[in-house]
Amino acid sequence: METVDNRDESVFQNAVQSWWKSKNVNAAGIGTPQGGSRDQNLRGDTMDGFRDVIIEHLMAGGVREEDIFCGRQLERLASNLPSYYRASKNWDIVVCRNSHYKRLKNPSLKEPVLIAAIEFKSQTGSIGNNQNNRIEESIGNAHDFWASYENKNFIHLTPRPWLGYLFVGRYAEGDETKCVEIKQPHIPTDPAFEGPHRDARLSRTRFKGISYAERYRVFLERMIAKKLYDGACFLVTHEDIAQLIPNYRVLYPELSGEKFLDSLRRHIRGYYFD
């Protein structure tokens, strides 16, 4: 691989490489064809490279492999957690000490302690497609998680679990600055979404706002500020850099992979060990 100017980190280099490989394999027609980027997201292995990197960091930090779960919804050891507005939610990674299934075999174990849960999201098609749906889903998942926590469905209120969100999307260089039109006919828009390019000559109800990437930044920063997520990661990649090192870009330093993993490591050091 050719090496480029190391403006960005490369901690998820192999994960992004695996992501592209999975996308290309699925787009080639493996599985039931449904068309477009839908085909590229059908298989569950799309984000497995990210799962593997995070598990590697967890274990390097002392987490026992037996306390890390990433099973899919119907697997025997699915990474399901009790919800509040529904029966359960399958998270991409869960770290839990003294898992319930262990206590059934060994009643002398202490009660389960949920340490962390992580959600993955990715996007490959037109970067504006379904962004609101993805954001709404993630907001709903977070609210459901903390409602379940407050209801003591996780048994312990302390330590407070660490909730993480990792996103990777297909963005060409420059996409992060492309303004997106906003139509707001009734009530003025939140200024955070207006951006610096609003043209006063346009109608007050229709104008150019911040880019889709900037919208994600606002979403994630506000989710963290509201303590709905404890850590968030926003990475972008494109075919133009898929074979380079690094093969992804970090648009916002506070949402980098390194900061995401560091936040998770600090939580593990503080609350995983007895």
pLDDT of residue 208: 86
Q: Is residue 153 part of a domain?
A: yes
Q: Is residue 263 part of a domain?
A: yes
Among all chains, which residue has been given the structure tokens 């999307």? 169
Q: Is residue 202 part of a domain?
A: no
Segments forming the whole domain that contains residue 31: 2-177+213-271
Our count of domains for the chain comes to: 1
pLDDT in tens, 143-172: 999 999 999 999 999 999 999 999 999 999
Write a three-state SS string for the chain.
CEECCCCCCCCCHHHHHHHHHHHHHHHCCCCCCCCHHHHHCCCHHHHHHHHHHHHHHHHHCCCCHHHEECECCCCCCECEEECCCCCEEECCEEEEECCHHHHHHCCCCCCCEEEEEEEEEEECCCCCCCHHHHHHHHHHHHHHHHHHHHCCCCCCCCCCCEEEEEEEEECCCCHHHCCEEEECCCCCCCHHHCCCCCCCCCCCCEEEECCHHHHHHHHHHHHHHCCCCCEEEEEEECHHHCCEECCCEECCHHHCHHHHHHHHHHHHHHHCCC
Q: Is residue 199 part of a domain?
A: no
Q: What is the pLDDT along the chain (274 residues), one digit of tens a residue?
A: 544 444 569 999 999 999 999 988 765 554 443 344 333 343 457 899 999 999 999 999 999 999 999 988 888 889 999 999 999 999 999 999 999 999 988 999 999 999 999 999 999 877 777 899 999 999 999 999 999 999 999 999 999 999 999 999 999 999 999 999 888 888 888 999 987 755 544 566 888 899 999 999 999 999 999 999 999 999 999 999 999 999 999 999 999 999 999 999 999 999 999 7
Q: Is residue 186 part of a domain?
A: no
Q: Is residue 184 part of a domain?
A: no
Q: Is residue 235 part of a domain?
A: yes
Q: Is residue 182 part of a domain?
A: no
* Model pTM score: 0.89
